[in-house]
Amino acid sequence: MSAEATNPEARSEARPELRRRGRTRLDLRRLGRAALLGPTSRDRLPDAIGHVAEAHRAHHPDADLSILRRAYVLAESSHRGQMRKSGEPYITHPLAVTLILAELGAETTTLTASLLHDTVEDTEVTLDQVREEFGDEVCFIVDGVTKVEKIDYGAAAEPETFRKMLVATGNDVRVMSIKLADRLHNMRTLGVMRPEKQARIAKVTRDVLIPLAERLGVQALKTELEDLVFAILHPEEYEHTRALIAAHAGERDPLPAIAESVRVVLREAGIHAEVLVRPRHFVSVHRISRKRGELRGSDFGRLLILVGENADCYGVLGELHTCFTPVVSEFKDFIAVPKFNLYQSLHTAFATSDGHVAEVIVRTRQMHRVAEAGVVALGNPYATAAATAAATAAAASGATAGSAEACADPYEERVDPTRPGWLSRLLDWQQSAPDPDTFWSVLRAELAQDREITVFRADGGAPATISLPGGASCIDAAYAQYGEAAHGCIGARVNGRLTSLTSRLSDGDTVQLLLAHDASSGPSADWLEHAHTPAARIAIGSWLKAHPDGAAATTTAAARAPLSVVGARGGGGNAVADLPDATVRLAGCCTPVPPDAVAGFVVRGGAVTVHRVQCAAVAQMRSLGRTSVAVHWRATADCRVTLLAESFGRPHLLADLTEAIAREGVEVVSATVEPPVEQRVRHSYTLQLPDATGLPALMRAMRDVPGVYDVSRA
């Protein structure tokens, strides 16, 4: 989208190894001349888009190319007279971007918008003209990739452009497809810019565009962008890696022979498969050299095995692990558990008899298309049911229908059915980002998360699952589920067990979030240390800024001593030890009551302490050689027990609990209330019951007190 690109020939000569193998590069000088000459006939396809038409028809044999001809004519005429810094006609840029997308299999509407993507920004063409000539879909996509005016936004123009583009991507992922292809071509032709400007563009590409390409699954663009950024930002390491690859080129490559051995094994097993040697790109070689040190010949590439059906993938895996020595630690199944960017494959590795280790990727041809092109391979997310049926029928017959039809008004409220969970989260939190700087910094932090987990809601609400970045805590889950209402969250149950909000979540966990009844409750400052999602961090930061005294109140409360209320009674209740004149005490650690099985031990002073037999202290007493004493219960039914009540903090809670206990006819021997922690309060009651059989009813009565969520024996 920039007219500042430079001579692509110089770039290609300086970095010939960055060319993707098998990918046709445009001869921009020839296309520039063809563009200036223009079409010779209204019905003839202009020579300048011959490459685009050929690549498009390879994926969409029945595509209508007339709309591409009209888009090219408008783009060429509107950009006529504009030149790139390399001296080439500017039209060569939208042509190159469109060819990149055509090679990935983009449908006709995307290619049409790609040809026009700079017209509204850099020429006199208006959005209304694009809509009138090409329809709402093309107009929406072109608007999505058009930069905001720097004269209006100043230094905030770049962040606000990305904000606008991401919002448009939430409605139609084809917007970001064009932006990625646009950035790839500009990176290919970056050579004559000033070094500082090259570095600035490369850093934005590294921090924002490459993570977006990864998340959208467009590996073909991501890998080349990584290599181009690597060459600019890390020239010394790049040169070292280039030297490694050049040295390997002069040696015998063991992978072709290994690939032939695999072909023989699969052919004998009756599995129809295509076995290819896939060279690693520069960044991949750099990473593996840092991981393994000295590289061997097989480290410079991987085997790619393409099959027809999912079941064949596992058949190939079985043959490889049977006929070769597998490296178990390298096995990953991304078919049963796909990555969050649609990627599916089996990864494995095996050792050969001569000591080489070959890494292998196994996938179907459809998986391969999606792995390379990601969302580009999904086509038009708003195709009508009829168009979808036609495309399915065409695919079954070996062809794919083009989709240039305009759909419903894209400016109406709509959600792309292919929108991934991470993009939905991004769109939610960006609305709360108070300024462009915050948006820009938080966006980079969000995109730095390279893993995603899914947790399940225990309450059965919709949606049933919550998508979060790897390393997320219960705090992140709370804000993802409740938004600003999560300010009152005071705890969580993870997989049925009570835990703190700072606990980290794992993929597949079931989460139940506990909200306080006190509307004035809010987060503490240390939540920011455990919040990973931008939505949580922005919401917490905003609340703390609006309530500067909130954190101080929590800290003061935590420093207070526990509140204790102690009654007059003590002793061993109705427990009797078989030791004359001995003082009997019920252990506070397990507070046994009839008819618990108990054990007694003589402690200092000759007293006998009574424990439940399953209490951990029993084993400790025996290991210390304490004298064991038989203990039994009196015939009377009264007993003493210690109960723990977990509750939300609120006014008058202690009074309500004490009243509930009194209504059951139970005497409070002692009570301790711990200071609130994250709005949770823990009460400990030692109680004298007139009848042990009333204990379950007492515990139910205490749980029924508003704010109490758990009551258990100590």
Active site residues: 121-122
Question: For residues 148 and 500, what is the distance between their CA atoms, to the nearest angstrom?
Answer: 44
What backbone phi and psi angles, to 5 degrees, belong to 207? -80, -30
Nearest residue to 2 via CA among 112, 98, 85, 76: 85
The position carrying tokens 């409750």 is 521
Tokens representing 643 are: 């109960």
Tokens representing 188 are: 């290919």
Nearest residue to 213 via CA among 368, 338, 374: 374
The CA–CA distances, whole Å, from 276 to 305, 343, 359 equal 6, 19, 12
Residue 647 pairs in a beta bridge with: 681, 708
280-318: string of b/e by CB count within 10 Å (b at 16+)? Answer: bbbbbbbeebeeeeebeebbbbbbbbbbeebebbbbbbe
What backbone phi and psi angles, to 5 degrees, belong to 631? -135, 140
Question: For residues 74 and 132, what is the distance between their CA atoms, to the nearest angstrom?
Answer: 13
Largest CA distance in the chain: 119
Q: Is the peptide bond before 463 cis (omega within 30 degrees of 0)?
A: yes
Query: Cα 351 to chain center, whole Å?
Result: 33
Q: Are 356 and 296 in contact (CB under 8 A)?
A: yes
DSSP assignment letter at 209: I
Sign (positive/negative) of CA torsion 180, 183, 188, 189? Answer: positive
Query: Cα 122 to chain center, whole Å?
Result: 36
Question: For residues 248 and 298, what is the distance between their CA atoms, to the nearest angstrom?
Answer: 10
Question: For residues 218 and 684, what is the distance between their CA atoms, to the nearest angstrom?
Answer: 57
SS (H, E, C) 203-244: HHHHHHHHHHHHHCCCHHHHHHHHHHHHHHHCHHHHHHHHHH
The position carrying tokens 């409070």 is 668
Q: Are 541 and 532 in contact (CB under 8 A)?
A: no
Question: For residues 261 and 703, what is the distance between their CA atoms, to the nearest angstrom?
Answer: 69
Question: For residues 118 and 95, what is the distance between their CA atoms, to the nearest angstrom?
Answer: 11
